[in-house]
């Protein structure tokens, strides 16, 4: 074997070794830190919930660390590269784009963003009706993207308190999701849709590790769908997520 061929073989061996080494990081339990907001039933501080269960199943056998609190904290951890995965991201969040890669498959379809108001005190028929109103939304979310020009802004940290203020007439509109209304509130308030259902995603760091985790998630997520594991995890929320449409589109494009 001449020297050129020998050097080539060594390079091939080194390349194969590097690939196997990268794979081994995932195969033998690479540590993965996941940051998320606290969403009831979906991501709980004790590491349970639908979204966290999906992540556990997708990275079965790996060392997962969950940090569940406020969305602002979760996003800050991700932007400072102290978390590998951020849960529940809109792709139109411009603050994430430079450092983020998204998988082929969304995590869920978020319910529409709605303006919640008390019809006994407020009339909402047209966008112009917002001009004199005090409109509140959760301070950590950029719902101002969907709210028409309005009089004053009230940013809250507690949806229960915000809805109490709405009922007492201290604010005019709360921007949120209808699933946060209880049965009594559904009878009192009315809603106007500001933005339809949108996919929410897992965000991964745009690094070698992040791209490796993304690819692993995509492969695992496909298997979870095919084995109907997603259906069992999402339960009553499965039909709303519309994964069947997502994967039928994939089949049509193959």
Q: Report CA torsion sign: 57, 243, 104, 142.
A: negative
Structural domains in the chain, CATH included, are: 30-109+198-248 (3.40.190.10), 113-195 (3.40.190.10)
Q: pLDDT means per 10 residues in the chain (254 residues)?
A: 58 51 53 94 96 97 95 94 96 85 96 96 93 93 90 93 96 95 96 94 97 97 97 96 82 52
* Helix and strand element counts for the chain (H, E): 9, 11
- Could you tell me which residues are beta bridge partners of residue 34? 66, 85
What integer pLDDT is reported at residue 21 of this predicted model? 47
148 φ/ψ sector (left φ>0, alpha ψ -120 to 50, else beta): beta
Give the per-residue pLDDT at 98: 81
pLDDT at 29: 62
Q: What is the pLDDT of residue 47?
A: 96
List the Cα angle 69/221/51 in 5-degree steps: 20
The pLDDT value given to residue 27: 47
For residue 144, the 8-state DSSP code is G
Res 252: pLDDT: 52
Distance between CA atoms of residues 69 and 59, nearest Å: 21
């Amino acid at each position: 074997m001449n020297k050129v061929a020998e050097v080539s073989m060594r390079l091939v061996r080194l390349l194969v070794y590097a690939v196997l080494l990268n794979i081994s990081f995932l195969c033998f339990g690479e540590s993965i830190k996941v940051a998320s907001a606290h969403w009831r039933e979906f991501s709980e501080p004790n590491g349970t919930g639908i979204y966290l269960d999906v992540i556990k199943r997708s990275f079965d056998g790996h060392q997962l660390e969950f940090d569940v609190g406020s969305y602002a904290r979760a996003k800050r951890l991700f932007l400072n590269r102290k978390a590998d995965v951020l849960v529940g991201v809109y792709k139109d969040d411009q603050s994430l784009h430079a450092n983020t890669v998204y998988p082929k498959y969304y995590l869920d379809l978020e319910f529409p963003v709605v303006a919640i108001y008390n019809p006994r005190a407020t009339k909402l028929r047209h966008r112009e009706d917002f001009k004199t109103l005090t409109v509140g939304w959760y301070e950590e979310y950029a719902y101002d993207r969907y709210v028409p020009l309005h009089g004053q802004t009230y940013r809250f940290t507690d949806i229960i308190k915000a809805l109490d203020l709405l009922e007492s007439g201290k604010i005019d509109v709360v921007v949120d999701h209808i699933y946060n209304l209880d049965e009594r509130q559904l009878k009192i308030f009315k809603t106007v849709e500001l933005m339809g259902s949108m996919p929410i995603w897992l965000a991964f760091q745009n690094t070698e590790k992040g791209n490796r985790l993304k690819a692993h998630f995509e492969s695992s997520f496909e298997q979870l769908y095919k084995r109907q594991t997603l259906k069992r995890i999402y339960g009553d929320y499965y039909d709303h997520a519309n994964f069947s449409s997502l994967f039928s589109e994939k089949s049509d494009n193959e």
